[in-house]
């Protein structure tokens, strides 16, 4: 059978989709190639949230096609995901060597379409239509390169929904992922139980706005939202030791979810809380649905419920109309919230979104300066937070060899900090206490606590 190489751009949702596509193809008999240079099929799973990611994918596909022509190789080339969804047949016109364009609700059809292309039953395929039930079609997991059971993985992503109904003015996701559709709690629990039976100990629940899970499908009861009921159900899965979720919306942090951090032991003490801006005026223009005061109140209540919780955020610099006063409000929000981490993005206009035609765009040189200033504050704050961990014992789930130094082990704390430490193969997959002895600007270093006694 042919070999396939999949390159992924963008978020954890795309990572999860790529894994499921790879699992489907392996189950169909395809081999996974180590690089595009040796593959019979190359698929790019694309992101269109920012122009940079979109342009990188387009340039990459052009380079792959050019190399295949130069070497006289007959390679099947395909775009999947958000760029495929938003551009559709236009991609075929731009890239004559392209064979497959597959939208966000059609990923479960990859194997069938590739079979048709390879057997030459069809020449070029564009499939970007809406498909009912697509949120439940991507459930396969790739295990050590095989769609089978024997796994050394101890963490896994589980997609619980697709789509978004928020329509933030800067965001293209509702147009590429469609309206919100949620899976059933029973279906998600069954997937988590299957993963647990193969050794997975930590589950990350995924959705475009994960806290919106089941709002139309699952009735709220006893003051608990559908998402909190899902957390409780996954919490009961034997073998699952940790639960995380991403990406939420501040509006989803109701009293029941905040309380869950205190009463559900498996729910990790890490809350991602995308602020985007510290200016109420900009938040209104973004259509975010909360105020600066509301954001800070959620931060305060989360820390009251779980004093050790780590809180991260997303921030956008240079949104149309952002003044120096608006930007300073974002800087002060970061300081006042005392955040543990932050992803800082330069505003990227996306075609057909309301923000793309808003007046008073911020000059690129101003965006660059503001971006650097905000990053400096965030980096300093993160370094301080990491430094405060030195001398503590922290529970770490051992995920495997360190990415930078395979002679050492790597894992994450409950508050989502990476820890590198000495250890052996016997520690893989264990939850263990690690004594933190040193911190860099992004990583903690330690030793198994038993060795320090």
CA pseudo-torsion sign 122, 116, 96, 106? positive
Q: How far is CA 158 from the centre of its chain?
A: 11
- What is the β-pairing status of strands 418-421 and 409-413? antiparallel
Q: How far is CA 171 from the centre of its chain?
A: 16
Burial letters for 408-432: b for 16+ Cβ neighbours within 10 Å, e otherwise?
A: ebbbbbbbbbbbbbebeeebbbeeb
Element (H, E) at 190: helix 185-197
Task: Please check whether residue 279 is in contact with residue 239, taking contact to mean a CB–CB distance below 8 angstroms.
Answer: no
pLDDT tens digit at each of 453 positions of the chain: 799 999 999 888 899 999 999 999 999 999 999 999 999 999 999 998 888 889 999 999 999 999 999 889 999 999 999 999 999 999 999 999 999 999 999 999 999 999 999 988 888 999 998 888 777 777 778 654 444 433 478 999 999 999 999 999 999 999 999 999 999 999 999 999 999 999 999 999 999 999 999 988 777 778 899 999 999 999 999 999 999 999 999 999 999 999 999 999 999 999 999 999 999 999 999 999 999 999 999 999 999 999 999 999 999 999 999 999 999 999 999 999 999 999 999 999 998 899 999 999 999 999 999 999 999 999 999 999 999 999 999 999 999 999 888 889 999 999 999 999 998 888 899 999 999 999 998 899 998 865 544
Q: Give residues with Cβ within 8 angstroms of 7, minimum separation 6.
A: 36, 42, 43, 44, 45, 60
Q: How far is CA 410 from the centre of its chain?
A: 20
């Amino acid at each position: 059978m042919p070999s396939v190489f999949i390159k992924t751009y963008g978020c954890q949702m795309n990572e999860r989709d790529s894994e499921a596509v790879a699992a489907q193809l392996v189950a169909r008999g395809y081999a996974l190639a180590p690089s595009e240079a040796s593959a019979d099929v190359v698929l790019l799973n694309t992101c269109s949230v920012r122009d940079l990611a979109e342009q990188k994918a387009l340039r990459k596909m052009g380079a792959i096609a050019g190399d295949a022509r130069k070497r006289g190789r007959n390679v099947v080339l395909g775009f999947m995901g958000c760029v495929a969804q938003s551009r559709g047949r236009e991609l075929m016109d731009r890239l004559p060597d392209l064979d497959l364009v597959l939208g966000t609700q059609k990923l479960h059809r990859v194997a069938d379409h590739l079979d048709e292309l390879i057997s030459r039953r069809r020449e070029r395929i564009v499939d970007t239509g809406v498909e009912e039930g697509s949120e439940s079609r991507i459930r396969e997991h790739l295990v050590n390169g095989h769609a089978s059971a024997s796994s050394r993985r101890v963490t896994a992503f589980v997609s619980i929904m697709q789509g978004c109904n928020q329509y933030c003015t800067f965001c293209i996701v509702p147009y590429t992922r469609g309206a919100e559709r949620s899976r059933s709690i029973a279906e998600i629990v069954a997937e988590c139980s299957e993963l647990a039976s193969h050794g997975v100990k930590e589950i990350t629940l995924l959705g475009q706005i994960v806290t919106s899970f089941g709002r139309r499908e699952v009735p709220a009861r006893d003051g608990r939202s559908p998402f909190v009921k899902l957390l409780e159900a996954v919490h009961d899965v034997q073998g699952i030791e940790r639960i995380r979720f991403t990406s939420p919306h501040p509006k989803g942090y109701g009293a029941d979810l905040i309380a869950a951090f205190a009463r559900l032991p498996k729910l990790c003490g890490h809350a991602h809380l995308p602020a985007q801006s510290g200016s109420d005026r900009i938040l209104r223009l973004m259509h975010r649905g909360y105020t600066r005061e509301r954001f800070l109140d959620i931060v305060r209540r989360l820390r009251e419920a779980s004093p050790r919780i780590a809180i991260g955020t997303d921030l956008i610099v240079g949104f149309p109309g952002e003044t120096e006063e608006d930007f300073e409000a974002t800087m002060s929000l970061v300081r006042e919230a005392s955040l543990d981490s932050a992803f800082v993005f330069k505003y990227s206009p996306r075609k057909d979104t309301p923000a793309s035609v808003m007046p008073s765009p911020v000059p690129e040189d101003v965006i660059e300066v503001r971006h650097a200033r905000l990053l400096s504050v965030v980096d300093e704050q993160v370094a301080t937070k990491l430094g405060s961990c030195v001398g503590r014992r922290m529970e770490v789930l051992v995920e495997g060899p360190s990415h930078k130094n395979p002679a050492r082990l790597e894992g994450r704390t409950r508050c989502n900090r990476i820890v590198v430490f000495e250890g052996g193969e016997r520690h893989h997959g264990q939850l263990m206490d690690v004594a933190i002895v040193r911190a860099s600007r992004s990583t903690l270093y330690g030793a198994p606590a038993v060795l320090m006694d």
